[in-house]
Structure 1
Amino acid sequence: MTSTFKRPKVITINPITGCDKHSPGCKNCYALRMIPRLQSFGNPKYKNGAKITCHPGVMEAVLKRKKPTFYFVNSMSDTFHKDVPVEFLREIFTIMNQAPQHTFHFLTKRSTRLAELAHEFNYTPNIMPGVTVEANQYLYRIENLKKVPATARAVTFEPLLDGLPDLIPQMLEDIDWVVAGGESGSGAREMKPEWARKLRDTCKTAGVLFWLKQMGSYGRKPNKGGNLLDGKVNEEWPLNIITDG
């Protein structure tokens, strides 16, 4: 698969809100931190706080937008959380199926449920599922992702919390895109440059596109991690993602 460096138009859409901490990567979850602030603004979607809440009708907005767009689905939740009913997931997928002009990407740490429900939904070519793998002990999530009958799959190593000693190029077979990044904000944990370097090189060997979003703010000014590794920007996007314009 080839790549393009033109970043597509990205819109975040949240038909599900609320979540809880599932593994170490969740320690400083930005979504959970934002919820009290959103409540203070009177945002009705967050009246239930961190409790999983489904919002019927939210996804219908994508059907009204004709311009090809990259949608990141559920930045404020985990799509495959156990408290999200299968019926509501089916509603989300049905609408994504009806909007082939857009690309839809979602992430989950609940990869076991993702795999269990792999054949419950229609993964049309415009749907790119992904899993988050923050540390070596969670590499099994990649294998769960491969059970999903999708045209393209992504793995996000963010926040990257260790050097992934067991990761080898063969594990990334049938993976199209890897995104990595350090942690930012208060309490940010370290991401060592050699961890990012190894991941970059593993992706290159495996023929997988690699995007290093940022190095994180550990030991740096808050939220000023930068996106350079060895003085270079590493940003690749799958060509099959529909770009803006």
Structure 2
Amino acid sequence: MAESTKIEWTDTTWNVVTGCTEVSPGCDNCYAKTFAERWRGTAGHHFENGFDITLRPERLALPLKWRKPRRVFVNSMSDLFHKDIPDEFIARVFATMSLTPQHTYQILTKRHGRMRALLGNPEFEKQVDYELLHFPPFADPKLIRRSWPLPKPGWPLPNVWLGVSVEDQKRADLRIPALVDTPAAVRFLSCEPLLGPVDLTEWMPSISPMPAEQAPATWAEWTWPDWVPAKVRTQVEEFWTEYWGRSPRHWISDMHQQGAPPFGARLTMGDGFGHKPDQVVGRYVHCWNNIGRLVLDDDPDREFAYTSFGTRDRARARGIDWVIAGGESGHGARAMHPDWARSLRDQTTAAAVPFFLKQWGEWGPAPFIVRVCDPDVGWQGTEEELATAKADSEARGATHVHTGNWLEKDGERTYWLHEIGHKPWSLERCALPEGTAAIRRWGKKRAGRELDGRTWDETPKAVRS
């Protein structure tokens, strides 16, 4: 039986372990802990032990019974790489995933160090092979409908996505390098609850040096970086020449249309266009279509190589394949500044990385001012009508703003809300301080999921080898 879920970016949860311990500020209002601890001490209840680490071996073979493909969030009520979960048990989880390639498994962790150490160790792969051969449920013909022995579909498993939680910049700097260093078909970030602004450009570089709309209209106004050789500059400019009605803007637009590797990224790509060409290392410059140049690092005989790119080259050029963002919900929820979510959306768009806004959470954007009348004219109706208009204005207006200010202690930044004294309909309420945004405690359902007039439900495809 599948475990249903309301989590927007998955179809099913598979909790082979329940329970966890707190490791960072993102854990402070953990929904799983709050739920599980309600039942601590209730004899016979599934969470009789509250949120203590509890292995659930009886659930290991569940996905073998699911024939219809689905996205499976592994351990929504725990962390698979918690120190108290044995390597042997984790190997059995991976063995199950290898036997069910029709499903896509999503593993999210805050234990980045153990994830990297375990999955990067060839001995762990051997342990998965051992469990495939020796764990009894994997020999049950009612569950396994293929010939024996069962082949394992390569490593890393192509149907397993690995992610880390990133609630702020400190956790980004700490966890993302380990994720990028771990073999995975897809690497993703869950920036939820988002507790501060996060810059991901180190691991998710922009495809182009600037947005097309900001680029100059002629090559005479364009400035090349010093590292781009003169001959490469000439080749690009001659193809995108004004003579043919082209410009730097068209060149940059083509980068995004083709899904080119990031401009200036240091990559290993093919040297030339033949079958299985030799690989060389250099900085990428887009030319046209799927053709580019690699400016070589240390070749004494030439400055650049001709190259072309495909889907896998694009994936290798970045460390992150998917970004999920969301605000906190529930009692004591901390607010997500709209600009933090907007910044992640803009960064992913520039890097052609899918973006998924899961929720605003308890707090969401709201208008700062909802006037009941023209300030120059004044109210023209009755007192009863004015009272109604004020109530309607306050229902739709903001009562708080996120100041963007913080307190810092032991390297941790804590953001807070500042309440504005003037009501949303007050003629004294004129403008917000710079860097702040009007928000309101709507509740998760009313706050919704829209950012700038639309929902963001983008998801990746597994392309990394």
- Do they fold alike, i.e. is TM over 0.5? yes
Map 1:10-49; keep pairs closer than 5 Å: 10-39=11-40, 44-49=45-50
Partner-residue secondary structure (3-state), 1:75:
coil
Q: How does 1:169-188 map to 2 (within 5 A)?
A: 169-172=201-204, 173-188=318-333
Q: 1:9 to 1:209 in 2, by over 3 A?
A: closer
Aligned residue type for 1:174: G
Task: Check if 1:230 corresponds to 2:452.
Answer: yes
Q: How far did 1:231 drift?
A: 1.4
After superposition, the C-alpha distances for 1:66-85 in whole angstroms (9 at most, x for unaligned) are: 11011101000011111111
Deviations 1:25-78 (A, max 9, x none): 001000000103455876644222221111113020100111101110100001
State the secondary structure of the residue aligned to 1:117.
helix
How many Å separate the matches in 2 of 1:41 and 1:209?
A: 43
Contact 1:118 1:147 in 2 (8 A): no
- The alpha-carbon deviation at position 237 of structure 1 amounts to 1.2
Comparing 206-215 with 25-34, which one deviates more in the overlay?
206-215
Distance 1:8 1:220, change over 3 A: closer
State how far apart, in whole Å, the 2-side matches of 1:8 and 1:78 are: 18
In the alignment, is residue 221 of structure 1 matched against residue 442 of structure 2? yes
**Distance in 2 separating the partners of 1:210 and 1:58:** 31
3-state SS, counterpart of residue 345 of structure 2: helix
**C-alpha separation in 2, matches of 1:161 and 1:154:** 18
Matches within 5 A, 1:75-86: 75-86=76-87
Is the 1:8–1:69 contact (alpha carbons within 8 Å) kept by the matching residues of 2?
A: no
Equivalent position of 1:151 in the other structure: 185
CA distance in 1 between counterparts of 2:462 and 2:116 reads 23
Corresponding residue number in structure 1 for 2:91: 90
Aligned counterpart for 1:128 among listed residues 139, 142, 161: 161
Question: Is the contact made by 2:112 and 2:175 (CA closer than 8 Å) also made in structure 1?
Answer: yes
Q: 1:3 maps to which residue?
A: none
2:335 maps to 1:190: yes
Alignment of 1:102-141 (within 5 A): 102-119=103-120, 120-121=124-125, 122-139=155-172, 140-141=174-175
TM-aligned CA deviation for residue 112 of structure 1: 1.1
Q: For each residue in 1:134-189, what CA deviation from the matched residue of structure 2 results, as whole angstroms up to 9, or x when unmatched?
A: 0110112111111221111111000000012xx24231322111100000111110
Distance in 1 between residues matched to 2:443 and 2:41, nearest whole Å: 24
Kept after mapping to 1: 8 A contact 2:41/2:50: no
Alpha-carbon spacing, 1:9–1:150, altered in 2? closer, same or farther (3 Å): closer
Return closer, same or farther for 1:43/1:114 CA change in 2, 3 Å cut-off. farther
Q: Which piece of structure 1 moves more, 11-20 or 122-131?
A: 122-131
Q: CA deviation at 1:23?
A: 0.2
| Greater mean deviation of Cα atoms: 23-32 or 136-145 | 136-145
Show CA shifts across 1:186-219 (max 9, x none): 1110101100011111111122110001112133
Unpaired runs of at least 5, structure 1 = 1-6
Give the match for residue 56 of structure 1: 57
Shift of 1:12: 0.6
Per-residue CA deviations over 1:209-241 (Å, capped at 9, x if unaligned) read 100011121332322321011111111012449
- Runs of 4+ more than 3 Å apart: 37-45
Task: Look up the SS of the partner of 1:67 in the other structure.
Answer: coil
Percent identity among equivalent residues?
A: 43
Letter in 1 for 2:456: N
Q: Distance in 2 between matches of 1:51 and 1:8?
A: 26
1:1-20 deviation per Cα after TM superposition (whole angstroms, max 9, x unaligned)? xxxxxx88701110000011
Q: Match of 2:334, SS?
A: coil
Q: If the length of structure 2 is used for normalisation, what is the TM-score?
A: 0.48
Which residue matches 2:137? Answer: none
Aligned counterparts of 1:114 and 1:9: Cα–Cα separation in 2: 21
1:207 and 2:429 matched = no
Kindly provide the amino acid, as one letter, of the partner of residue 238 in structure 1.
P
Contact residue 169 and residue 202 of structure 1 kept, 8 A: yes
Structure 2 vs 1, CA of residues 107 and 135 (structure 1 numbering), >3 Å: closer, same or farther?
Answer: same
Query: Aligned equivalents of 1:16 and 1:175: distance in 2?
Result: 27
